[in-house]
Amino acid sequence: MTRTTPDEVGVIACVGAGVIGGGWAAYFLAHGYRVRAWDPAPDAEQRLRHLVDAAWPALTELGLAEGADLANLSVHRDLAEALRGAQFVQESAPEDLELKRRLLAGIDDLCAPEVVISSSTSGYPMTDLQTLCPHPERTVVGHPFNPPYLIPLVEVVGGKQTSADTVAWAAAFFTVAGKSVITLDAEVPGFIANRLQEALWREALHMIEAGEATVEQIDRSITDGPGLRWPVQGPMLTFHLAGGHGGMAHMLDHFGPSLLSPWTRLAAPELTPELRDAVVAGCVAEAGGRSIDDLVAERDRGVIALLRALGRA
Amino acid sequence: MTRTTPDEVGVIACVGAGVIGGGWAAYFLAHGYRVRAWDPAPDAEQRLRHLVDAAWPALTELGLAEGADLANLSVHRDLAEALRGAQFVQESAPEDLELKRRLLAGIDDLCAPEVVISSSTSGYPMTDLQTLCPHPERTVVGHPFNPPYLIPLVEVVGGKQTSADTVAWAAAFFTVAGKSVITLDAEVPGFIANRLQEALWREALHMIEAGEATVEQIDRSITDGPGLRWPVQGPMLTFHLAGGHGGMAHMLDHFGPSLLSPWTRLAAPELTPELRDAVVAGCVAEAGGRSIDDLVAERDRGVIALLRALGRA
């Protein structure tokens, strides 16, 4: 009943083989793991192999791990068989609370008791998903972004019954597997990145509904605008640079009042001194000694590289 | 009193020489224009030359236009002198409504009557800015993104008193000058891109205030997550691909109910059949005949190029 250490995992079960589960399978295969997949759809194997084949050129271009081989994929008709020998399980079933609850309980029932079971859920708290599990302490959310074979982010967060060990193991495993991991301390609906992109998405829907912008204008406003800064430094450091040499402190002190402008349908939080200080301190910490001039130079290099990479220079 | 055609503009007045005005000056210089700048600050010339010098290596790397020369920049102590001979004016004063009102009126008073006067305002409607102008019909918003010398987007929108000719001329001029122009039909507070990034920013502030995420987690959730998709295809086409081969139609029909999840503090619009159809039709129009497989392949090539460009492959 000793848990495999994160760097010793060799066999992964992928439960659910849609766009996300298939993307995970492709990712793990490219990183040299053996993948045992299961999905209840009658054409599951064909669809999964299509997904993996479609992702493989991209993964090959990025560089396959030693031993990475499409032959390391097996697709099973029986869930218990798929779970046999798995040292880690990634569940990627449709976003249906009852379905996921029952499926996770089934996996938990069938799997060796020390194996960590991670769910790709894009929004359900693990507390709500693990209710039927006999061993809820080893269930955890490991939320990827589409396509999981290219986007590095995985958000890791446990439920009320998840053990701290499980959360730490999952974070360590995804890191070993090459992912960029954010471990959340608290269960926030939608986690972090989805909350942020959902706020943008809802504002976009409101604008389309009100006839304020077209779909194409919304996309271009991002691809040719702030979207070119975000992969380089994120929204917070981006605004750290909007304040000139005064950084985020100047930005908040100077533009703080415009927070109250009706610039989105989302109400602004009150900019209390505590919030202001927390944001400034966070930016300074993230900058980690880099001056505003350093950050501007980094941003410029990054944006130029993006423009070139996308053929827009 | 004939307006210079957009492609014949050779001399531009940049009024206001902070981060945005200085960025515009650098951009126009690199594109071969003569720039006449004015700013009331005592050290304006020194600061402006510092800003332009700092941007010049980036602009040189991207490729200077024929005739582009730092010697084409002149900085003036007198606004009237700066405006002399200008065929286009870009105003980039601080975001202060009264200050901008008076400044635009002053520019309007001093400038040859056929010259288009554009404001970099990041949120004030031109209707509110042009109130003191003797010739409000030639004033327009031309809203850039920081840094204006690298980010292509310019949002163009007129006020109630702006002529349709002025809006069309400004859009044509910015396009000739190499910008990616979105012309808004209606004055929406914050325009388009700022509304979208402001929704994300406000949700981020709420999360920091509630202790749900740190500044660093927010940035990494974007730089390593959805931020890697947005410069490639924008948020709408990104979700068009989240629905698998069913595209946005499947996405909305399948995930529509999760719109009601408390995933952000911004309330969701009701997903009426009309809104659903408008979003789907917009995505199909934007895809312009490209299949989901085509778009997936494009996205993957784009994300790989970004990862490589940023040294994260």
CATH at B15: 3.40.50.720
The reported pLDDT for the residue numbered A313 is 76
Question: Which residues of chain B have a CB within 8 Å of the CB of A259?
Answer: 202, 205
Nearest residue in chain A measured CA to CA from B286? A216
Tell me the ipTM for this assembly: 0.93
Same domain, yes or no, for A28 and A162? yes
Cα separation, A238 vs B28, in Å, equals 23
More confident residue, A250 or B130: B130
pLDDT value for B1 = 57
What tens digit of pLDDT does each residue of B5-57 get? 999 999 999 999 998 999 999 999 999 999 999 999 999 999 999 999 999 99
Which range, A174-178, A240-244, B94-98, B303-307, has the best average confidence (pLDDT)? A174-178
- Listed by number, the residues of chain A in 62-81 with a beta carbon closer than 8 Å to a beta carbon of chain B are 62-63
Where do we find the tokens 């602004």?
A: A268
Residue A172 covered by a domain:
yes
What's residue B156's pLDDT?
98
The reply to whether B90 and B20 lie within a common domain is yes
What is residue A35's predicted lDDT score, i.e. its pLDDT? 98
pLDDT value at residue A293: 84
Same domain for B129 and B261, yes or no, is no
Q: What is the distance, to the nearest Å, from the Cα of residue B218 to the centroid of all Cα atoms in its chain? A: 23
**Two tokens at B260?**
């009601």
> Residue B310 — very low, low, confident or very high, per pLDDT cuts 50/70/90?
confident
Nearest CA in chain B to A231: B223
Q: Answer whether residue B215 is part of any domain.
A: no
User: Which residue ranges of chain A lie beneath pLDDT 50?
Assistant: none
Average pLDDT over every residue of B111-127: 94
Is the residue at B210 inside a domain? no
Kindly state the percentage of chain B with pLDDT values over 90.
Answer: 71
Q: Mean pLDDT, to the nearest integer, of B179-200?
A: 93
Lowest pLDDT segment from B85-99, B244-258, B276-290 = B244-258
Residue A299 counted as domain residue? yes
The whole-number average pLDDT for the span B76-97 is: 96
Q: What is the pLDDT of residue A1?
A: 58
What is the distance between the alpha carbons of residues B115 and B118, in angstroms, rounded to a whole number?
Answer: 10
What is the reported pLDDT for A183?
98
Amino acid identity, residue A185? D
Taking CA–CA distances from A147, the nearest residue in chain B reads B300
Instruction: Spell out the long-range contacts of B134-139 with Cβ–Cβ below 8 A and sequence spacing 24 or more.
Output: B134/B105, B134/B108, B134/B109, B135/B108, B136/B108, B136/B161, B136/B162, B137/B161, B137/B162, B137/B163, B137/B166, B138/B108, B138/B113, B138/B114, B138/B162, B138/B163, B138/B166, B139/B104, B139/B108, B139/B166
Q: A158 and A229: one domain?
A: no
Quickly tell me which residue has 């939320």 as its tokens: A143
Structure token pair of residue A188:
């926030």
Tell whether B117 and B23 lie within a shared domain. yes
B197 located within any domain: no
Residue B194 has pLDDT above 70, yes or no: yes
* Cross-chain residue pair B226–A196, CB shorter than 8 Å: yes
B182 forms beta bridges with B155
How many Cβ atoms are within 10 Å of B312's Cβ, its own excluded? 13
Same domain (yes/no): A124, A238: no
**Strand order in B88-91's β-sheet?**
B73-76, B34-38, B11-15, B88-91, B116-119, B139-144, B153-158, B180-183
Range of the structural domain that residue B265 is part of: 225-309
* A27 in a structural domain: yes
pLDDT of residue A106: 98
- CA A132 to chain centroid: 25
Q: B313 to chain A: nearest residue by CA?
A: A62
Instruction: List the structure tokens of B109.
Output: 């008073």
- Is residue A204 situated within a structural domain? no
Same-domain check for residues B73 and B175: yes
Closest partner residue to B279 among A215, A261, A272, by Cβ?
A215
Q: In the listed set B158, B183, B208, which residue is the last one of a domain according to the structure? A: B183
Q: pTM here?
A: 0.92
**Residue B95 and residue A258: Cβ atoms within 8 Å?**
yes
| pLDDT band (50, 70, 90) for residue B145 | very high
pLDDT attached to residue A255: 73
Smallest CA-to-CA distance from B298 within B246, B231, B250 is with B231
- % of chain B residues with pLDDT over 70: 99
Domain end (from A183, A217, A233): A183
Domain endpoint, select from A183, A212, A240: A183
- Report which of A220, A236, A227, A217 is spatially closest to residue A303, judged by C-alpha positions: A227
Asked whether B153 and A224 are in contact (CB, 8 A), the reply is: yes
User: Which residue of chain A comes nearest to B287, CA vs CA?
Assistant: A216
Counting the structural domains of chain A, the total is 2
Is A219's CB within 8 Å of B235's CB? yes
Question: What digits encode the pLDDT tens for the residues B209-240?
Answer: 999 999 999 999 999 999 999 999 999 998 88
Amino acid identity at B215: V
Most B CBs within 10 A among A202, A208, A237, hence the mutation to make, goes to A202
Nearest CA in chain B to A300: B58
Residue B58 CA, distance from chain mean position? 19
Beta strands, E only, chain A: 11-15, 34-38, 73-76, 88-91, 116-119, 139-144, 153-158, 180-183
Interface with chain A: mutation pick from B187, B300, B307, highest number of A CBs within 10 Å:
B300
Residue with the two structure tokens 């927070």: A259
| Residue A228 CB neighbour total at 10 angstroms | 26
Are B172 and B88 in the same domain?
A: yes
Cβ distance B227 to A244 less than 8 Å, yes or no, reads no
Closest CA to B33 of B159, B149, B154: B149
Residue B219 lies in a domain: no
**In 3-state terms, what secondary structure has residue A120?**
coil
B176 and B230, same domain (yes or no): no
The radius of gyration of chain B's CA atoms, rounded to the nearest angstrom, is 22
Residues on chain B touching A198 (C-beta within 8 angstroms): 203, 263-264, 266
Residues B68 and B160 in one domain: yes
Residues of A in contact with B282 (CB under 8 A): 208, 214-216
- Chain A interface includes B41 (CB < 8 A): no
Same domain, yes or no: A169 and A240: no
Instruction: Return the half-sphere exposure (C-beta side, CA atoms, 13 A cut-off) of residue B93.
Output: 25
One domain, residues A144 and A11: yes
Query: Is any Cβ of chain A less than 8 angstroms from the Cβ of B88?
Result: no
Verify whether the Cβ–Cβ distance B255 to A95 is below 8 Å: yes
